[in-house]
Amino acid sequence: LLVPFRERFEELLTCVPYMYRFLSKKKIRHRIFILNQVDHFRFNRASLINVGFLESGNDTDYIAMHDVDLLPLNEHLDYSFPEAGPFHVASPELHPLYHYKTYVGGILLLTKQHYELCNGMSNRFWGWGREDDEFYRRIKGAGLQVRRPSGITTGYETFQHLHDPAWRKRDQKRIAAQKQEQFKVDRQGGLNNVRYQIESRTDLSVAGAPCTVLNILLDCDTNETPWCTFG
């Protein structure tokens, strides 16, 4: 599990032990990586997932991009190896908030081979949103078919969404150049050019659930993406 993260400790304290128990009950071998962005740039979910992919080691054969604030409530949801193609666990028919048909955010499983085929995710999305819409286009461009759960009857009660927008605002600021960029496909960047340093790597336990915290310093070329800063 690759969990992009910044400062949402209440959600993290719930997510790690919950997902450890959920996956252990399903007998799925797993490691939980908390991708903690500790630089001073705006949050970049896609770059953090790229870093998590590169740092996850050779003993893992697939990844789950997993938002910290989304917990599966239905034990029949499939988290097994997605051999046939990207498997979108948080399907728009089940997600409590996002229902458009090209949505692939929240929880998405991919083999490492398929993620490399897409060159990972674009590093150009600083701030909240749109990076998963661009990734959907990468998936289609790589000739892959998104699969989704079937036979799940719990509808919008399939997941618990922990996020409370009343007290935790999302960084949705868009400067003019960024507004133009957010609907484009990034045909150059991804896994091949993500710039980062690992400040520290710590194995720890949250309420008895093991995880690895990567403190990540992302880098930004302000000539390429000036919207990475708050200035």
pLDDT at residue 9 tops 90: no
Per-residue confidence (pLDDT) for residue 171, from 0 to 100: 52
Q: How many CB atoms lie within 10 A of CB 96?
A: 16
- List, in order of start, the domains of the chain with CATH numbers: 2-218 (3.90.550.10)
* Average pLDDT for 198-226: 95
Model confidence pLDDT, tens digit, residues 139-163: 999 999 999 999 999 999 999 998 6
Say how far apart CA 149 and CA 56 lie, in whole Å: 26
Question: What is residue 182's predicted lDDT score, i.e. its pLDDT?
Answer: 59
User: Residue 32: which pLDDT band, with cuts at 50, 70 and 90?
Assistant: very high
| Model confidence pLDDT, tens digit, residues 159-191 | 999 865 544 555 555 555 555 555 567 778 899
CA distance 10 to 12: 5
Q: Residue 215 contacts by C-beta under 8 Å, 6 or more apart in sequence?
A: 36, 38, 198, 199, 200, 201, 202
In the Cβ-directed half-sphere of 31, how many Cα atoms lie within 13 Å? 18
Note the pLDDT of residue 129: 75
pLDDT at 109 exceeding the cut of 60: yes
* Mean pLDDT of the chain, nearest integer: 90
pTM: 0.91
DSSP 147: B
CA 205 to chain centre: 21
Sign of CA dihedral 203, 9, 49, 142: positive
pLDDT for 66 equals 97
